[in-house]
Amino acid sequence: MEWEIFLAPYRQAVDELKVKLRGYRDLYEVTAENSPIEFVTGRVKPIPSIMEKARRKGMPLTQLNTQMQDLAGIRVMCQFVDDIHRVVQLIRNRTDLVVVEERDYINEKKKSGYRSYHVVVQYPVQTVSGEKKILVEIQVRTLAMNFWATIEHSLNYKYKGKIPADVKKRLLNAAEAAFRLDEEMSQIRDEVRVAQIRFLQKNADEEE
């Protein structure tokens, strides 16, 4: 029950931010621009994971609100790597939250091969006892990065954090393959854009 009371504003923050970030898709629909957001998910960290992380990092349970930045977590999935930077800019421009930290695991991937852009924000929630400022970790990643991270995460869970060396190596190769897939998709998109512009230009010239 105490956990539920402690986590209630985190659930509120996750619910509100999911709605707000999903809203961009509708806002982009009325512009000529493509939405940089494909889909948004969110979760409050499960209690056993909170306890495990607190133990691993030597965090006192009384300091979780200031020390554990991902009790509330939002994930934003994008089609292309460029879209990640557009989403991060949208987050930085918001006036209903304050960005407190950014971690660029795209230019500096983790040892595991993990890639994503993390933005930690401070978000005010209106609770029954007044305003409470909550830390929320927003992970922004491409569909390919998400595919890799989801599978690696479940393997980690399956092997209880002790993935065998050969599987780790193959996961690293798979992370590189996901990275190349992102690069290839961006190039294809750029080439299609150039071809479209040429096609429109040609039609316009012919009509003159």
Nearer to ligand 0O2, 55 or 198 (CB): 55
Question: Please, what is the minimum distance in Å from the beta carbon of residue 107 to ligand 0O2?
Answer: 14
DSSP code string of 126-150: EETTEEEEEEEEEEEEEHHHHHHHH
Q: Please name which of 127, 82, 112 lies closest in space to residue 173, comparing C-alpha atoms.
A: 112
Nearer to ligand 0O2, 83 or 152 (CB): 152
DSSP code string of 144-206: HHHHHHHHHHHHHHHTTT---HHHHHHHHHHHHHHHHHHHHHHHHHHHHHHHHHHHHHHHHHH
Q: Residues 132, 124: contact at Cβ < 8 Å?
A: yes
Q: Residues 142, 104: contact at Cβ < 8 Å?
A: no
Nearer to ligand 0O2, 81 or 115 (CB): 115
Question: Please, what is the minimum distance in Å from the beta carbon of residue 170 to ligand 0O2?
Answer: 14
Question: Please, what is the minimum distance in Å from the beta carbon of residue 70 to ligand 0O2?
Answer: 6
Q: Please name which of 49, 102, 103 lies closest in space to residue 72, comparing C-alpha atoms.
A: 49
Nearer to ligand 0O2, 48 or 130 (CB): 48
Residue 152 is a catalytic residue: no
State the catalytic residue, choosing from 101, 137, 152, 208: 137
* Distance of alpha carbon 35 from alpha carbon 42, whole angstroms: 19
Question: Please, what is the minimum distance in Å from the beta carbon of residue 72 to ligand 0O2?
Answer: 10
Nearer to ligand 0O2, 79 or 139 (CB): 139
* Distance of alpha carbon 105 from alpha carbon 175, whole angstroms: 13
Question: Please, what is the minimum distance in Å from the beta carbon of residue 108 to ligand 0O2?
Answer: 11
Residues of this chain that bind ligand 0O2 (CB under 6 A): 45, 49, 53, 70, 73, 103, 110, 112, 114, 118, 149, 152-153
22: DSSP letter: H
Give the active site residues: 137
